[in-house]
Amino acid sequence: MPADGTVRLASSVSSTTADAKASGSPPPSPEGQLDHIESLLRSLPDDLTLNQKHRAEEFIRSRANVFSRSEFDIGRTNIIPHRIDTGDCSPHFEQLQCHPTVQLPVIDEHVQHMLEHDVIDPAASPWCSNVVMVRKQDGTMRLCIDY
């Protein structure tokens, strides 16, 4: 953390294909450019009129570049720097909580995937909050932060 008491955050705003290239994501192939929105198009409500459905599909296709192509395609931009002014507040630090032994490999796997996909960076900071594993509806676990 900088000496001025601020916390800097990476943006998770999806922007352009150029940003995807900069973040290491492969550029979409011309023939498969819209593959990532097919499930979205298929999940449009059944009660739409044909005109509404056509307009919705046209809208989604025209903005296909803003939809994630994969789980870790969250996008990044350096257009707007983010700062959280913490003023003269002392850092919040929580002691590490014990997790069930069966969750430890899942936590390690989540962290490793996020590191590999440049979602997180290793850090040493006086600010620290615990991770919490939350079960999703499909039975898999989601890694969350308990701020």
Of the chain, the percentage scoring pLDDT greater than 90 comes to 37
31-83 pLDDT tens trace: 456 788 998 899 999 999 999 999 999 999 999 988 888 877 877 777 888 88
Residue 33's pLDDT is 64
Task: Identify the three-state secondary structure at position 83.
Answer: strand
HSE on the CB side for 86, CA within 13 Å?
15
Put simply, whether the predicted model's pTM sits higher than 0.85 gets the answer: no
Encoded tokens for 60: 């989604």
**Per-residue model confidence (pLDDT) at position 138:** 95
One-letter amino acid for residue 43 of the chain:
S
The torsion angle over the Cα atoms of residues 71, 77, 80 and 85, rounded to 10 degrees, is: 50
* Angle (CA) 28 76 143, round 5°: 100
